[in-house]
Amino acid sequence: MLDELNPAQREVVELRRHCVAVACPGAGKTKTIATKAAVLLAEPNATVGAVTFSKDAAVELRDRILALAGSGAKKRLLAGTFHSLSYKQLGGDGSERPDIATDGDRWVLVGQALEEAELDWKIEDAIGAIEVIKTNFGDVQDGTHEARLYRAYQHALERNAKIDFQDMLRLAVEGLQRGTLKPYPFTYLLVDEFQDTDPLQYQWVALHAQAGSIVTVVGDDDQSIYGFRSALGFRGMESFIRQFDAQPVVLGSNYRCKAEILAAADKVIQNNHDRIPKTLVAQKGPGGIVQFNRYDDEYAEAVAAIEALAPALREGKSAAILARTNRILDPVEAVCRSHGVKYYRASGKSILSRPEAALMCNLLEIIQKVKANGLDALLGFAGVGAHELRLLHSKLGPALEQRQKKELVGFGVSEETADRYRDLMKRLAEWRSLCDRQFFSLILDGVREWMMQHAAADQARRAITTTYDVLSRLNGPFSERLEFLRRQNNELVPDALVLTTMHSSKGREWSATWLIRCEETVIPDDGSTEAEERRLFYVALTRAKDVLGVSTAKKNPTSRFVIEAGLA
């Protein structure tokens, strides 16, 4: 096993003291962890703990370790997430473990807590505030809105005899600190993605180190991109080195990226100051393709990216388009749909799955007379209530038709509803006339304009715009366009183009990647620090093995990170 490791990897495996392995992108960190665990399990009576951040990662790491160590080591290996291992500890004294609140439970209980605390906050914002407090051991300043919210929420959990996801780790750490819970009797403890640990997770690891476990943590401060989740990043890794006199070992050999790609990424990350110094070496050598372009708009950019990545997909290689946010991927999905390109939206939901997209398609089918019914949903979208819809049907029957305003008001509906009803019926007649003459573009423009009038939410407006963008790029009657639109090509198949965010790309790699909308105000985003945004861009750059494309639309100036990389 050791013969397959480079000198730095081998040093990590052979160390029998606290160690911080600083692993650059593509450094083979999982291989290093698995090999070290297998070597440790070869020691008589040694027990090994392996901690990851996700269940899937824990299962994968456990399988890789046992493949090297053999099934006989199974009883001396415990692999899991921070939360799963903490939850097991809560029942370590023989008591029954508390019930975990579901997402639905939490949503209701947070709503109750907001009402009790007399706070007019969105539930999503309240959940975020509570999570920050729990990550910091439940510390909150007395007299603040956050303190009122947190205490009301905790009381609600207690009334229902539940704990939430964050409580698993918080209660385990508190129990370990008080001595009411016992640490795991690991001889050795291995922790993956250590740069992503928050204060609670760091303390859980530290308490096991203080209890006698020899700890090896693996991570990369340059890939710390979860500051919004209170990840400690560089500070956590430096703190662990100081607190436990841990040996730092830099795994600087990159086995993923061609030299040109790694060089561009290294130029960017060198501009961050609080980082562990490291020298990156591209083991694959030169031969990578790196290019940068600016396009007139996001649709021209999407077309260019898709066309540039098509050769890789045709050759059976993997390819992905990365964006700062999920929303930026909407135009790319629209182009994939209209061009018949297989794709897989790996992060977030497709905007075309929104109900407004389906409603727009239904309206076009009614215009073309493919469907006879469906006006109720459209009138409801325009603000007509269920009671008034029942009144209209009681007077007009199932087939709604145009009537004078005075007559409609006589049915008992409001004047506003009468106006909205007459407006839709008038437009429907005009659109059907245009459809008979095959003026499909005019109809699409009119339908979009009418739907945008009644769409209040930003996501609803995005769904309407994206659906319009796809359909306007197709030809033929609406029935044919909708059949094309509804084809299921958003599936994870080997030859699908992956559409994902820069955050979700972490831990993944593709033969060819394209980073879109690399502009000021997009990346760096104003909602994060420049250093964290630079780390995010660094992560995105280092996903590519052989081909890297970076581009912008001409809406904003080119991102400073593109300039730092020497691409513009």
By C-alpha distance, which of 443, 441, 424, 423 is closest to 433?
443
Report the amino acid identity of residue 559: S
The reply, when asked if residue 265 is annotated as ligand binding, is: no
Q: No. of H helices and E strands in the chain?
A: 23, 16
Token pair in block for residue 368? 């073309």
Q: Could you tell me the two tokens for 360?
A: 């727009």
Residues whose CB is less than 8 angstroms from the CB of residue 357 and which lie 6 or more positions away in sequence, other chains included: 351, 463, 464, 466, 467
Could you give the CA distance from residue 185 to residue 231 in angstroms, rounded to a whole number? 26
421: Cβ–Cβ under 8 A, 6 or more apart, which residues?
379, 384, 392, 400, 408, 413
Residue 487: left (phi > 0), alpha (psi -120 to 50), or beta? beta
| Residue 26 assigned to a binding site | yes
CA angle 135, 188, 82 (to 5 degrees): 25
Residue type, 268: V
Alpha-carbon distances of 244 from 71, 82, 465, rounded to whole Å: 33, 20, 55
> Which residue spans within 159-313 are E strands per DSSP?
162-163, 188-191, 214-219, 247-251, 253-254, 281-282, 289-295
Sign of CA dihedral 52, 57, 58, 61: negative
Helix 440-454 / helix 415-436 crossing angle, nearest 10 deg: 160
Amino acid at 108: V
Token reading at 58: 């824990």
3-state secondary structure of 128: helix
CB 445 within 8 A of CB 469: no
- Residue 512 assigned to a binding site: no
Instruction: Please answer whether residues 209 and 216 qualify as being in contact, where contact means their C-beta atoms are separated by less than 8 angstroms.
Output: no
**In angstroms, rounded to a whole number, what is the distance separating the alpha carbons of residues 175 and 96?**
15
SS3 253: strand
81 among annotated binding-site residues: no
Cβ neighbors of 522 (< 8 A, separation 6 or more) are: 324, 325, 328, 556, 559
Distance CA 19, CA 396 (A): 78
Q: Are strands 247-251 and 253-254 parallel, antiparallel or unpaired?
A: unpaired
CB 109 within 8 A of CB 160: yes
Beta strands in 433-566 (DSSP E): 497-501, 510-515, 544-553
SS (H, E, C) 100-124: ECCHHHHHHHHHHHHHHCCCCCCHH
Dihedral over alpha carbons 399, 403, 409, 411 (to 10 degrees): -40
Query: Residue 42, annotated ligand binder?
Result: no
| Tokens 């992503």, residue located | 196
The continuous run of DSSP H or E covering 219 comes out as strand 214-219
Q: Residue 431 has which token pair?
A: 């659109």
Q: Which of 473, 493, 489 is nearest to 481 (CA)?
A: 473
27 in a known ligand binding site: yes
Residue stretches of the annotated binding site: 23-30
**Which residues define the annotated binding site for ATP?**
23-30
